[in-house]
Amino acid sequence: MSPDFLIIGGGISGLLTARELANAGASITIIDKSALSRESSWAGGGILSPLYPWRYDDAVTALFLWSQKQFTDLAAQLVESTAIDPEILSSGLLIADLPKDGSSEAWLNRFNFSHKKIATEQIRAIAPSLSESYSELLWLPSIKQARNPRLLQALRAELTLKGVRFIEHEPISEIVIKDHRVTAIKGKHSLYSASQYIVCGGAWSSRLWPDKKQLKVEPVKGQMILFKAKPGLLNQMILDSGRYLIPRKDGRILVGSTIEYSGFDKSITDEALKSLKQSAYACLPDLKDYPIEKQWAGLRPGTEKGIPYIGKHPGIENLSANCGHFRNGFVIGPASARLLADILLDRAPIMSHEPYSIGS
């Protein structure tokens, strides 16, 4: 029997959308071109705040502030139902390079966001291994992080328990439309049909969408490296000059990331390795004593202002999208999924859908 919803793409956007719809009793199949959740969602850092949040449009901030309240409950529910801990940790975020025009202070006060400026002595007390060059940092204690692969694994396990079906290694090549309705989607192995279809294709979403001009998402490569450090070397996330360090529970430290406009190329480079290493050592000199375990790249679903597309196709009644989250797919994932489910299930929406509308 055909499901109520067919979701194309099993990254964080597809999984969270499926979760919202499954919680409302819908039947769902998720189809992915490769193994589930191995693209941007797997590659990302999992900082649960936009970097320099004051730089973003209010449309992104609204999704962030709503989502921020959900992560603790989400983690608890996932641990209870699957026994997989997504390691959502309240590590807090230190920021080194603040704007001189007061825009950060204005944003923090406007949203009543918990923060504190800390100077040399307090920095040493909180993070003794950080470079001695830091004399003032902004401290955002409420910012959390997630361990992406664990969160994705837990979501998959939970969705399986809820009866969601997964079809992997099945690239969708066409959305078949007749009389302003999708009748099927064409995969490599089969045709699939459902009552409704949702594009959660990350950086590939525009390729799938019937009208490319309506939904503009482009791949933006980001490279990361992972140090095998020891627990306690660094306990807070830190952001400096666009680069960040994320300490995991087991002591490993992620360092990211580059921003590269190079199409769908996902190769890693020595140049990025050198530059990420330099940023890491400048921030936390002791990292020189630890090996680099891994380097990888992922393709962010880039949009002009980082505002995602959430909603229905303006002319095709059973086609919708939740994509284009750029650097913030985890940060704003819960609100994006909930908003789309509200729209599709005709519920009162958690916020206005207009800033995210497709073809507006």
Q: Which residues bind ligand FAD (CB under 6 A)?
A: 8-14, 31-34, 37, 39-41, 43-47, 171-172, 200-204, 208, 222, 224, 256-257, 298, 300-301, 323, 325-331
Residue with Cβ nearer ligand FAD (122 or 275): 275
Dihedral in degrees, nearest 10, Cα atoms 352, 358, 359, 360:
10
Least separation, in Å, of the C-beta of 120 and ligand FAD? 28
Residue 152 CB, nearest approach to ligand FAD (Å): 9
Q: Are strands 93-95 and 237-240 parallel, antiparallel or unpaired?
A: parallel
Nearer to ligand FAD, 33 or 115 (CB): 33
The tokens for 91 are 């590590």
Q: d(Cα 124, Cα 149) in Å, to the nearest integer?
A: 32
Residue type, 239: L
Order across the sheet with 191-192: list the strands.
174-178, 181-186, 191-192
Check: CB of residue 36 under 8 Å from CB of residue 165.
no
Q: Which residue bears the tokens 């989250």? A: 325
Name the minimum Å distance from CB 207 to ligand FAD: 7
Instruction: Quote the least distance from Cβ 230 to ligand FAD, whole Å.
Output: 22
- Cβ within 8 Å of residue 268, ≥6 positions away: 223, 295, 296, 297
Residue 327, phi then psi, degrees to nearest 5: -90, 5
Longest dimension (CA), the chain: 68
Q: How far is the CB of 101 from ligand FAD (least distance, A)?
A: 25
Q: If you ran DSSP here, which 8-state letter would residue 323 be given?
A: E
Contact (CB, 8 A) for 351 and 336: no
Rounded least distance, CB 182 to ligand FAD, Å: 14
Residue with Cβ nearer ligand FAD (115 or 308): 308
- The least CB distance from residue 218 to ligand FAD, in Å, is 13
Tokens representing 304? 């002009």
Q: Please, what is the minimum distance in Å from the beta carbon of residue 349 to ligand FAD?
A: 20
Nearest-CA neighbor of 344 among 224, 170, 199?
A: 199
CB 327 within 8 Å of CB 22: no
Query: Which one, 117 or 305, has the nearer CB to ligand FAD?
Result: 305
Is 117 in contact with 138 (CB distance < 8 Å)?
A: yes
Least distance (Å) from ligand FAD to the CB of residue 295? 11
- Residue placing its CB nearer to ligand FAD in the complex, 13 or 318: 13
Helix (H, G, I), strand (E, B) or coil at 169: coil
- Nearest distance in Å: CB 12, ligand FAD: 5
Question: Which residue, 41 or 318, has its beta carbon nearer to ligand FAD?
Answer: 41
Give the residue from 218, 229, 233 showing the smallest Cα distance to 300: 218
Of 120 and 278, which CB lies nearer to ligand FAD in the complex structure? 278
Task: Pick the closer one to ligand FAD by CB: 189 or 288.
Answer: 189
Closer residue to ligand FAD in complex, CB, 68/257: 257
Read off the tokens for 342.
């509200």
- Taking only Cα atoms into account, the Rg of the chain, rounded to an integer number of angstroms, comes to 20
21 is written with which tokens? 């719809």
